[in-house]
Amino acid sequence: MPSPFLRAPRRPGLLVTVAVGAGCLVAPAPAPPAQGSPPYRPRQDHARGQDVVRALERGAHPLRSTAPYGGLKDLRPLGRIVGDAGVVGLGEATHGSHEFFALKHRVFRYLVEKKGFTTFMQELGWGTGLRLNDYVLRGEGNPRQIMLEEFRHAYTLFRVKEYLRLIEWMRAYNKTHRRKLQFMGNDVYYPHDRIFQEIFDYARERHRPDLIPRLTRLYDGLIPGKDVGAWLVRYHRKSRAERLRMVRRATEARRLVRSLRPGAGRKAAGWAEQQARVVLWTAKAHAAEDFSNYRDEGMAFNTVWWHRHKKSKILLSAHDAHVGATGLDPEHTAKRQGVWMRELLGRRYLPIGLTFYRGSFNAFDSSVPDEPLTKFTIGPPPRGNTERVLDRVPYRDYMLDMRTVREPARSWLDTVRPIRNIGSSFPEVNDHFALRRTYQVLIHLHRVTAARIIGEKVVTAPRARSRERDELPATR
């Protein structure tokens, strides 16, 4: 059960709301259509709907399965689309559906075997990624136990058998291959004891243990200990002026770590500086008036650092909202992770969006006290939603290269429309954006089922709680 002080966001992504009086972090309301974008006209769209569907069908590549094992021939078109991209951002329309997580395993396996990818980067804390990577690389620890200890609060949604299966597959792969796979987190929501320990170890390696007390004083208040929920509450009881002082102290600590570079090995120095940078990103995010923007910027820079310094091609896994190349405010100028990735890597970043028509998922129920972890089942989306037309393409599941799709589907994909964006909490809200401006590739699934959470009781919501109606029958 999540801490009463930690609440799943009412926006996509894993920003946990910290309720501390008037200073709590509150996610913004859903974005209306961007100004200056083509308007949505239901009657006009209905009149030309069949032409749009036919154009989508001509550009679609059917998917044989979302299961991680078996043949991969149906993913060959994806290999051509990926080309020489160094980072592929693969989204998800919910944080709790089996098919999205299983498909990510399948796509990663293809990218490993056919495109030379070596890192699975998840929307998880940097320190959590380090612990799991110890297992993936060297077999250290028990991945299930690590997930039980680390995947807490909103991250509980990722504590699933699907990801455990992925991590165990990566470990098995590493036992028989010289080129090693790595599992990493890129999030800066909270610091991790492991990060500070590595900074202190670096000072010892540089024969400067005398600096550890000073670093400890500078980081006082930022080291969370085992109870992250309690740390979050304590931290956000600080005034903003106090949190800004923490930023200055984290900045000074980073300079101190950098001063140890002379004579150090390049890799060791770069790694220690990155650890100090992660702490600084975290402090900046929690001191900012807009936590979400700083968080996304930090995640993007962590990902790019890993890509460049580890010389690793990355599958970046996050919510649809965090991999897309447009923002989420009314003007779509708020810079999410995908926007930063496009700026930093250009065409070497490929964003892929995932949508679905109907099915089940896990989320925190924001309509009742304590927000219990709940399995929701919903039917087709409301009339006018993008998924209504996507699901009329006569393939159960398919992939669409939106860069090459022809008219009239191209203009339809360029128009801002409502689309489901279900994050860590539910009832859902629609977002509004144009698919082709946000992603280069789209994967649409007809039906999804709830992921299998490890070690957590999940309540099943009555069908009526989904606040949706089956307005049309399934088109299969």
Global confidence as pTM: 0.88
**Helix/strand/coil (H, E, C) string of the chain?**
CCCCCEECCCCCCCCCEECCHHHCCCCCCCCCCCCCCCCCCHHHHHHCHHHHHHHHHHHEEECCCCCCCCCCHHHHHHHHHHCCCCEEEECCCCCCEHHHHHHHHHHHHHHHHHHCCCEEEEEEEHHHHHHHHHHHHHCCCCHHHHHHHHCCHHHHHHCEHHHHHHHHHHHHHHHHCCCCCEEEEEECCCCCHHHHHHHHHHHHHCCCHHHHHHHHHHCCCCCCCCCHHHHHHHHHHCCHHHHHHHHHHHHHHHHHHHHCCCCCCHHHHHHHHHHHHHHHHHHHHHHCCCHHHHHHHHHHHHHHHHHHHCCCCEEEECCHHHHCCCCCCCCCCCCCHHHHHHHHHHHHEEEEEEEEEEEEEEEEECCCCCCCEEEEEECCCCCCCHHHHHCCCCCCEEEEECCCCCCCHHHHHCCCEEEECCCCEECCCEEEECHHHHCCEEEEEEEECECCECCCCCEECCHHHHCCCCCCCCCC
- Of 34-38, 242-246, 389-393, 453-457, which range is least confident? 34-38
- Of 38-47, 53-62, 93-102, 198-207, which range is least confident? 38-47
Distances in Å between the alpha carbon of 262 and those of 206, 259, 273, 454? 9, 7, 13, 46
- Residue 450 reports pLDDT greater than 70: yes
Burial class (CB in 10 A: 0-12, 13-18, 19+), 119: buried
**pLDDT value, residue 263:** 65
**pLDDT value, residue 47:** 43
**pLDDT value, residue 329:** 58
- Residue 20 reports pLDDT greater than 60: no
Residue range 310-326: mean pLDDT, rounded: 95
- Of 101-105, 223-227, 273-277, 333-337, which range is least confident? 333-337
- Of 155-164, 330-339, 398-407, which range is least confident? 330-339
> In degrees rounded to 5, what are phi and psi of residue 251?
-65, -45
- Residue 269 reports pLDDT greater than 50: yes
**pLDDT value, residue 412:** 96
> For domain 191-290, is the CATH number 1.20.1440.30?
yes
CA–CA dist 445, 391 (Å, integer)? 8
CA–CA dist 234, 224 (Å, integer)? 10
Domain boundaries along the sequence of the chain: 6-187+313-466, 191-290
- Residue 40 reports pLDDT greater than 70: no
- Spatial neighbors of 376 by CB under 8 A, at least 6 apart, are 360, 361, 362, 363, 365, 426, 461, 465, 466
**pLDDT value, residue 312:** 97
Residue range 97-106: mean pLDDT, rounded: 98
Task: Tell me the per-residue pLDDT of 234-260, one tens digit each, with 9 for 90 and over.
Answer: 998 999 999 999 999 999 999 999 998
Query: What percentage of the chain has pLDDT greater than the value 70?
Result: 85
- Residue 132 reports pLDDT greater than 70: yes
- Residue 31 reports pLDDT greater than 80: no
- Residue 330 reports pLDDT greater than 80: no
Which residue(s) pair with 125 in the sheet? 187
**pLDDT value, residue 227:** 86
Topology of domain 6-187+313-466 in CATH is: EreA/ChaN-like  fold (3.40.1660)
